[in-house]
Amino acid sequence: MTPPTILIVEDDPALRTLTARALQENGFAVKLANAAPEMWQALEVGQIDLILLDIMLPGTSGIDLCRQVRQKSPVPIIFISAKGSEVDRVVGLELGADDYLAKPFGTRELVARIRAVLRRGGLESTPGEREAGILGFDGWTANLPRRELMSPSGAQVELTGAEFDLLVAFLDNAQRVIARERLIELSRARIGDSSDRSIDVLVSRLRRKLSGAGGAAPIVTVRGVGYMLNVPVERR
């Protein structure tokens, strides 16, 4: 099996080299670009499995590049930014990036994020398509690109990364029973959260957050099998 090829778009030469070395040591094939022109060239020449894109680039900014790439190709993108703010993260994800990594990052974190995004892409037949929507269920609205959940009253509801992944797993399999083992597999696909909480704890937290005024959360336990989201999901 050929190793996945990662395209690193980064204007700082030393950081580019160091990132490349770290990825190679972890079994990835690497291509390098310092700005937009080289990136387009690399995309034309060969198969790229994932782009590691710095937001602050000379010439065309990473944000514009991301938008342009998204119009042509569903290749997964991870933003690298020197800004650590949450607002930036949300904007990056909304533009179609698959994840967002703030500088400075360590090798372990970088590799884990890349693997998670690649695995997620592999799980779906058409990568990127699933995340392109806003889903409604039982009055709630899940904005998948921004990774945000809005309650029936219109309030933003904070979810941890693992909880959001779990919710996405439920939304993808609405009104179907999901076995516990399958849920663990699905929600581990993304490492938004480094916790090792058991799936039952995550489900109970998600239930607590999804409980409305007097109403119980629309997640039921199917004894001996797993869990089920018992309301229909609509695309918006």
**Which residue lies nearer to other proteins by CB, 41 or 195?**
195
To other proteins, the closest distance from the beta carbon of 56 in angstroms equals 6
To other proteins, the closest distance from the beta carbon of 176 in angstroms equals 27
Upstream peptide bond of 104 is cis (omega within 30 degrees of 0): yes
Count of C-beta atoms within a 10 Å radius of residue 46: 10
CB environment 98-125: b (16+ within 10 A), e (fewer): bbbbeeeeeeeebbebbbbbbebbeeee
Compute the distance between CA of residue 5 and CA of residue 28 in angstroms, rounded to an integer. 6
Amino acid type, 88: D
Residues that bind other proteins (CB under 8 A): 12, 14-15, 18-19, 21-22, 56, 82-88, 102-108, 151, 153-160, 193, 195, 197, 205, 208-209, 211-213
To other proteins, the closest distance from the beta carbon of 159 in angstroms equals 8
Q: How far is CA 186 from CA 10, 27, 133, 163, 164, in A?
A: 31, 24, 18, 12, 11
To other proteins, the closest distance from the beta carbon of 210 in angstroms equals 10
**Which residue lies nearer to other proteins by CB, 107 or 230?**
107
To other proteins, the closest distance from the beta carbon of 164 in angstroms equals 11
Compute the distance between CA of residue 9 and CA of residue 35 in angstroms, rounded to an integer. 6
To other proteins, the closest distance from the beta carbon of 225 in angstroms equals 26
150 beta partners: 141, 156
Cβ(130)–Cβ(172) under 8 Å?
yes
Which of these, 66, 3, 1, 62, lies nearest to 30 by C-alpha position?
3
**Which residue lies nearer to other proteins by CB, 182 or 197?**
197
To other proteins, the closest distance from the beta carbon of 44 in angstroms equals 28
Spell out the residues 6+ positions from residue 10 whose beta carbon is closer than 8 angstroms to its own.
16, 19, 32, 33, 34, 52, 54, 80
**Which residue lies nearer to other proteins by CB, 31 or 121?**
31
**Which residue lies nearer to other proteins by CB, 130 or 207?**
207
Compute the distance between CA of residue 22 and CA of residue 16 in angstroms, rounded to an integer. 10
**Which residue lies nearer to other proteins by CB, 158 or 234?**
158
**Which residue lies nearer to other proteins by CB, 18 or 225?**
18
